Chain A
Amino acid sequence: MRTSLRLAGIRLDRPAGEPLELAALWRKQPALVAWVRHFG
């Protein structure tokens, strides 16, 4: 399965608690998504 499809349905929270479905990041425009090891 394509990586984008595996990611698409995952919902993550913004720091304020508001959830976002990852597919929304690239539905209308390209998205540069960076995974950092941690916020330290």
Chain B
Amino acid sequence: MFCREQVAQLRDKLPEIRAGGAELAVIGNGNADFARAFREDLALPDSVVLLVDPELRSYRAAGMRRGRAELFSPRLAANAFRAMRTGFRQGSVQGDPFQLGGMLVIRPDGTLSYRHVSSEAGDHAPLDEVLAALAPDAPAIREEARRSRLVPLAAEALSRVLDPTVVFSFDRSGFERHALAFDDADLACDLSGKRAVITGANSGIGFETALALADLGAEVVLACRNEERGLAARDAIRERTGNRKVSLELLDVSDLGAVRKVAARLAEKPIDVLVHNAGVLPDERSETQDALEATFATHVAGPHLLTQLLRPALEKSAGARVIWVSSGGMYTRRLSLADPQWRERRYDGVLAYAETKRMQVALAELWAGRLAKTRVLSVSMHPGWADTPSVASSLPRFRRVTEAILRSPAQGADTIVWLAAAPREKLEPGAFYFDRKRRSPHLLPWTRAGDREAPMLWRLLAKLTREAQ
């Protein structure tokens, strides 16, 4: 009944909304049949855009609340009495009954002039405030959350209990809890004049990283294998951010010859951010034209060579960052150089992925050591469990089981963006990060390697990249 009451109020104010030159859209948590009935019952004109969101993606992106406790608020009875008195009755509920609603006024430049997040059912936005926010001279609101100082402390305390479960750390609830301790000021920055190169940027976490950095004003180079998808990503980022300085560079990072050619072009101008994000998880072992196992070439040899070749361009920056996008899967593996290219073992794509992701964490540390006397910072991170096209295609069973709790790609990309843009004093060279916080690269004692493996990895890569010349 609350939903009907709210939408009926908006319908009655349609002339004023239109006078403000605004579009009215109503998004509901349910299926198309219910939406059609809702439109008919309320006599909503066709000009009101009605959309269904059974997966609640837009609710999450808009920051709408969801919770059982809110449904038992003492104000709920008063809201229900008010709605019933004005003639609204509860229809049959479907979709997620615990999802709450809200309202935003979004302007063509992407700023918000109004935001209302319902704190319980029936908590509607005051219409006079909404209409005032539609005025052309209405000020933009600050998006940073205002929260009590106790919230981050409580979130940290809860994380100490829940993070060791892994699931409730790597999943969406983990991100949402960790995010309560984020400092919004870290990303309140302007990256105009900065240049970022992101591999594997046409979808998933790489795309979201590119989108966020472009939105902060950076010049962004999408280094991607597929021209069609790369151009589509470039155009989408340009359109959504208004930033025209987004370009595509075709690069298969597993091909060392291609890395050399593209690096020569990229190094013509200073580079402030280099994100090693491109990844593969093949079912079967295959070799690149440099006779390297494909996973090893994509995650380790190619990015290592790219870093090496771009080092002069990185050193020209006032404070460049090299970010290695690893995976939580690496926690299960120890750094081992016994058979890095799977020549002596029966191939297992998931293990090859995890082993090379462990190597990336080691490489971030090794590069941090090599770059210690420069202003270039090398760090690694893992994004948690995010719902990306790669996960859907490479790990379909994992996705089926975890679908309901996976992070969005943007949540997965958040720490990369933070590492690229946050104040330098908040970052440690060579460190491993997750959800904007330094973490141990080991959860299991047997994954700690001896002192010899990391230098062996460096020597192996030096040899392989020299041979591939």
Q: Which of B101-109, B322-330, B356-364 contacts A (4 or more CB under 8 A)?
A: B101-109
User: CB within 8 Å of B: which residues of A?
Assistant: 1-10, 12-17, 20, 22-23, 25-40
For chain B, the bracket of interface size reads 35 or more
Contacting residue for B108 out of A30, A32, A36, CB 8 A: A30
User: CB within 8 Å of A: which residues of B?
Assistant: 1-3, 6-7, 10, 17, 20-30, 32-39, 49-53, 57-59, 61-64, 90-97, 99-108, 110-115, 118, 121, 130, 134, 143, 187, 211-212, 215, 236, 239-241, 408, 410, 414, 417
Contacts of A2 in B (CB 8 A): 110-111, 143, 215
Contacts of B108 in A (CB 8 A): 26-30
21 A-B pairs whose Cβ atoms sit less than 8 Å apart in the complex: A1-B417, A2-B143, A3-B62, A10-B61, A12-B27, A12-B58, A17-B32, A26-B106, A30-B23, A32-B24, A32-B105, A33-B62, A34-B25, A34-B26, A34-B103, A35-B29, A36-B29, A36-B101, A38-B29, A40-B34, A40-B92
**What distance in Å separates the Cβ of A26 from its nearest Cβ neighbour in chain B?**
4
Given A8-B240, A28-B108, A38-B28, 13 further pairs, Cβ under 8 A: A1-B211, A2-B215, A4-B112, A5-B241, A6-B408, A9-B211, A22-B58, A32-B10, A34-B26, A36-B6, A36-B27, A40-B30, A40-B93
Known contacts: A39-B30, A39-B35. The answer to whether A23 contacts B63 by CB under 8 A is no
Main secondary structure of the interface of B (DSSP, over half): mixed
Interface-central residue, A4, A36, A38, A39, by most chain B CB under 10 Å: A39
The answer on a CB contact under 8 Å between A32 and B29 is no
The answer on a CB contact under 8 Å between A38 and B63 is no
The answer on a CB contact under 8 Å between A31 and B105 is yes
The answer on a CB contact under 8 Å between A40 and B51 is no
Known contacts: A22-B58, A37-B101, A40-B3. The answer to whether A14 contacts B49 by CB under 8 A is yes
Contacting residue for B121 out of A6, A35, A37, CB 8 A: A37
**What distance in Å separates the Cβ of B202 from its nearest Cβ neighbour in chain A?**
13
Q: Cα distance A12–B25 when bound, in Å?
A: 12
The answer on a CB contact under 8 Å between A35 and B130 is no
The answer on a CB contact under 8 Å between A4 and B106 is yes
The answer on a CB contact under 8 Å between B23 and A37 is no
The answer on a CB contact under 8 Å between A32 and B51 is no
Q: Cα distance A34–B3 when bound, in Å?
A: 10
Q: Cα distance A13–B62 when bound, in Å?
A: 17
Known contacts: A5-B240, A40-B90. The answer to whether A30 contacts B51 by CB under 8 A is no
Residue of A nearest to B37 (CB): A39
The answer on a CB contact under 8 Å between B104 and A38 is no
Contacts of A32 in B (CB 8 A): 10, 17, 22-25, 103-105, 114, 130, 134
